[in-house]
Structure 1
Amino acid sequence: MPERKTLLIITHAPSPNTQRLSRAITSGASDADIDNVAVRSLAPLDTQPDDINNADAVILGTTENLGYMAGLMKDVFDRCYYPCLEKNEGMPFAFYVRAGHDGTGTRRAIESITQGMSWKLVQEPLICRGEFQKDFVEQCEELGLLMAASLEAGVI
């Protein structure tokens, strides 16, 4: 039996709609057909460097706040950047942004920080723009499923 891998999901979900997105990511990643992936879902304040260092892949989820990632997501990077630096180079990751506007600044910030950590973006970022849509939930569930299935299959 293949070694069990860990998919870490870190989401900032301050509203009922963003909580729906967070649950959808976790639900997709926890699909019953995926046997060898342990899914850990944490809020930004609960995330510690060891959580990241012990993961095999990461999904980040944040709101767009003032054209940037949520402060609590930035806090994860502030606290974990150096303790994780050089410990998980090549970490496969994906992210989604719940953007009231265009998500450009948030995307640029996440990509810049994770590039400095030498993480590997393995999915096109999911930017959920504008008014909340039911499709956002389905897209997040699919993102979770694809990441977990890819991790289990050894593709990432």
Structure 2
Amino acid sequence: MNKRLLIVAHAPSPNTLKLREAAERGARHPDIEAIDVTVKAPLEAGPDDIRACDAILLGTTENLGYMSGALKDFFDRSYYAVLEEKQGLPCALYIRAGHDGTGTRRAVESIVTGLSWHWVQDPLTLRGEWQDFFVDQVEELGMYMAAALDNGVI
């Protein structure tokens, strides 16, 4: 049975959509065969999606020094519903930050700590003006998550 990677990423602009697509492209790398990938916007995802996955990759914009309202809504609707049963869930995060992303990172880390999810790497913060290499970094993160899940590393 294939393991499942859930990507929940807010993509309100063409550039952030490129990031979500890059995460999916990386996760669906042709060398990674035994992983099912589900990609959802935060307002479309919920507790059932979390229950069905073996790892989760989160993506958000920095909004007024905080995570996107859409990702916060996802956590609000899902937190207590999965709190007990999904402890230890491997997770990763990328932040598209126009400034420094510190507040966004702290906010998501606080929720992830409360859920007792397990970080597979430090959050990836894509700071400042848009850079095309952000896409490569997120694609690599998606590929890493799927490959690690496929190989039983996470």
TM-score by length of 2: 0.99
Q: Distance in 1 between matches of 2:77 and 2:42?
A: 10
- The partner residue of 1:139 within 131, 137, 154 is 137
- Deviation string 1:29-81 (CA, Å, 9 cap, x unpaired) is 00011110000000011102010011000000000000000000000000000
Structure 2: which 5+ runs fail to align? none
SS in 1 for 2:17: helix
Consecutive aligned runs of 4 or more in structure 1 exceeding 4 Å deviation: none
Q: Which residue of 2 aligns with 1:99?
A: 97
User: 1:1-156 to 2 correspondence within 5 Å?
Assistant: 3-156=1-154
Cα distance in 1 for partners of 2:118, 2:94 equals 15
Following the alignment from structure 1 to structure 2, what is the Cα–Cα distance between the partners of residues 14 and 42? 13
TM-score, normalised via structure 1 length: 0.98
What CA distance in whole angstroms lies between the structure 2 residues aligned with 1:64 and 1:122?
A: 21
Aligned residues: 154
- Aligned equivalents of 2:27 and 2:69: distance in 1? 25
Aligned sequence identity (%): 59
Give the root-mean-square deviation of aligned CA atoms: 0.5
Match of 2:62, SS state, is strand
| In 2: Cα distance, 1:24 partner to 1:50 partner | 24
Amino acid across the alignment from 2:72: K
Q: How far does the alpha carbon of each residue in 1:96-123 deviate from its partner, in whole angstroms, 9 at most, with x for none?
A: 0000000000000000001000000011
Aligned residue identity for 1:155: V
